[in-house]
Amino acid sequence: MSIFDILRPADINKGVEEFRRENNAVLLDVRTAQEYSQGHISGSINIPLDSLDKINKLVSDKSVPLYVHCLSGARSGRAVSELKSMGYEKVKNIGGIGSYRGEIAV
């Protein structure tokens, strides 16, 4: 990994593909409920960043892979840090839905 890999934003399209190949994985959208209702990736669950402490009600197994996204990738980056501090082991920031090229559900 080079310094350029660190600076390159996550590719949500690759992240969603990876999520779909992973057994028992969760696609976590940390945008607000209003943002989520305006369009989201099918199969994602919405837990806004400010309610992230509620994740254990939906995902109690801390070894479950979590693929986290938001609008741009900034909130999901913060969410990944919080989730890791809560003990979740496999957490990945896949970026922002703003650059998603797949179908959006409403």
Active site residues: 70
Beta bridge partners of 26: 66
Dist. CA 67–CA 15, nearest whole Å:
7
Residues comprising the chain, all counted? 106
Measured over the CA atoms of residue 88, residue 94, residue 100 and residue 103, the dihedral's sign is: negative
